Chain A
Amino acid sequence: EAVMTQSPATLSVSPGERATLSCRASQSVRSNVAWYQQKPGQAPRLLIYAASTRATGIPARFSGSASGTEFTLTISSLQSEDFAVYYCQHYNNWPPWTFGQGTKVEIK
């Protein structure tokens, strides 16, 4: 069972700056990784699947990449609506569908 470890726990970024979030898998999960965004009081929303494919309607400033067991979510130029908690998840060799512990992106 792969464990997903996200870093940092909190990321302080100014609007317009780039944000880079990391997620490390404890074993190979191939490219079977998704990223979700959750704003306060809302349900999570799918951003990225297959490590780097944006979901329908997701702005191009969101991008995902992978290198081995290291996965990265990049927000190229943070907008006010992007301040939220972000979770990675693997869906390889399920069950279970394991989530990372989350990274909170806050305003600097």
Chain B
Amino acid sequence: EVQLVESGGGLVQPGGSLRLSCSASGLTFSNYAMHWVRQAPGKGLEYVSGISSNGGDTHYADSVKGRFSISRDNSKNTLYLQMSSLRPEDTAVYYCVKDYTSWYYFDYWGQGTLVTVSS
């Protein structure tokens, strides 16, 4: 059974930084692209970032480009999202998401980790 478990969320001040992690199990992690999707309180889903199976190709939403960095460690079955220059509008639940293969639909989602940006 595929499991994705996010960690690293919390309260951070505007302008601060935070690193999210996603530990994956039940799959050959290195075979799949992975993504981060977020959901602000009471709002819809917003795509944040994605990374290819070998980490060589990355994509970012315009809203986070230049501030967020996605990476992965296939030896540890772990996906990361380094977030810097955080803004109040980055407040959301961040979901770790598995791609069906490479750049397709999203077939497994973690339970999410809440990031709150507030002074």
Contact = CB atoms under 8 A, between A and B. Distances in A.
A21 B88 CA distance: 33
Nearest to A100: B44
Interface string A1-17: 00000000000000000
Give the bracket for the number of chain B residues in contact with chain A: 20 to 34
A73 to B, nearest CB: 14
A40 to B, nearest CB: 11
Interface residues of A, number: 23
A98 B106 CA distance: 12
B26 to A, nearest CB: 14
A45 B2 CA distance: 13
A44 B59 contact: no
A98 to B, nearest CB: 7
Interface in B13-54: 35, 44-47, 50
A100 B108 CA distance: 19
A18 B59 CA distance: 38
A43 B44 contact: no
Given A96-B47, A100-B44, 13 more contacts: A34-B106, A43-B95, A43-B109, A44-B106, A46-B106, A49-B104, A55-B107, A89-B106, A94-B103, A97-B50, A98-B47, A99-B47, A101-B44
Interface of B: 35, 44-47, 50, 59-61, 95, 100, 103-112
25 contacts: A32-B105, A34-B105, A38-B45, A43-B110, A43-B112, A44-B45, A44-B106, A45-B109, A46-B105, A46-B107, A89-B45, A89-B105, A91-B104, A91-B105, A94-B59, A94-B103, A95-B47, A95-B50, A95-B60, A96-B59, A96-B61, A97-B50, A98-B47, A100-B44, A102-B45
